[in-house]
Amino acid sequence: MSEPVLRVRVYASDFMSGEDEKEDIRYVFHCPGCGYGHWFKTGGTKRPKWEFNDDLYRPTVRPSILVNAQATHLGPNGRCHSFITDGRIQFLMDCWHDLRGMTVDLPELEEEDCW
Ligand SMILES: [Zn+2]
């Protein structure tokens, strides 16, 4: 792989409470099922947060990543549920999109992928 599949973003959000939430580091990846970015985080005091092997090229993330309709603009049944292991994303059977039940490589990020 020549480009990373994760991008690091730091959100300094005024509406968050607590000192460590103000430096909220998120890891963003492009979801090939939904067609746009999802994120996870490893720090802060609030859940959810994840374990991550610190590899932006071949990430492994635990536990699973669940994106639901409340968190996104996917629509009423817009559930996207996945495990990321060794740079690949495994979509569980409760996903709304056509990649449910499949495991595919996470796409390398382009400069234009700027969510
Ligand atoms: Zn997705």
Between the CA of 98 and the centroid of ligand 1 the distance, in Å, is 10
Between the CA of 80 and the centroid of ligand 1 the distance, in Å, is 5
What are 13-65's pLDDT values in tens digits? 655 555 555 567 889 999 999 998 999 999 877 778 899 999 999 999 999 99
Neighbour-count burial of 48, counting CB atoms closer than 10 A to its CB (0-12 exposed, 13-18 middle, 19+ buried): exposed
Between the CA of 96 and the centroid of ligand 1 the distance, in Å, is 9
Between the CA of 55 and the centroid of ligand 1 the distance, in Å, is 20
Pairing of strands 36-41, 51-52: unpaired
CA–chain centroid gap for 111, Å, is 17
Contacts of 67 (CB under 8 A, 6+ apart): 31, 34, 38, 74, 78, 79, 80, 81
- Residue 9 is encoded by which pair of tokens? 């973003």
Instruction: Provide the residue ranges of all domains of the chain, joining segments of one domain with +.
Output: 7-105
What are 72-108's pLDDT values in tens digits? 565 656 889 999 999 999 999 999 899 999 999 999 9
